[in-house]
């Protein structure tokens, strides 16, 4: 019944379900662009930037894996990427 000997303080960080909202990512992105270190809101781990193509970005915690949605630069700030990845074509004839 259970395992009373197991430590309870060694839980590895887990990514937050749903990841970072754009509202959270926006100031982090601003800080990142300004050259400031940006930290994960979940566990204060360092955030890294992922780039997809030339215009889509995502912030990912290198410690727990919490990530923002893919976003792109809009006229007034970042916005969730609206362009969907085109599905591969199986039949092109």
Contact residues for Zn ion, defined by CB under 5 A: 40, 42-43, 45, 61, 63-64, 66
The Cα angle at residue 22 between residues 18 and 28, in degrees rounded to 5: 110
Surface-to-core class of residue 57, CB atoms within 10 Å of its CB (0-12 exposed, 13-18 middle, 19+ buried):
buried
Instruction: Tell me how far, at minimum, the Cβ of 19 lies from Zn ion, in Å.
Output: 10
Instruction: Tell me how far, at minimum, the Cβ of 81 lies from Zn ion, in Å.
Output: 22
3-state helix, strand, coil in the chain (%, to 5): 15, 25, 60
Long-range residue pairs from 44-47, CB within 8 A, at least 24 positions apart, any chain: 45/13
Nearer to Zn ion, 24 or 43 (CB): 43
Nearer to Zn ion, 21 or 55 (CB): 21
Nearer to Zn ion, 41 or 80 (CB): 41
Instruction: Tell me how far, at minimum, the Cβ of 76 lies from Zn ion, in Å.
Output: 28
């Amino acid at each position: 019944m259970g395992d009373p000997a197991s430590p309870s303080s060694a839980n590895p960080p887990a990514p937050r379900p749903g990841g970072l909202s754009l509202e959270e990512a926006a100031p982090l992105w601003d800080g990142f662009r300004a050259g400031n270190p940006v930290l994960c809101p979940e566990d204060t781990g360092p955030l890294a930037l992922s780039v997809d193509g030339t215009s889509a970005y995502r912030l990912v915690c290198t410690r727990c894996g919490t990530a923002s949605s893919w976003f792109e630069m809009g006229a007034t700030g970042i916005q969730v990427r609206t362009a969907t990845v085109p599905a591969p074509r199986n039949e092109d004839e």
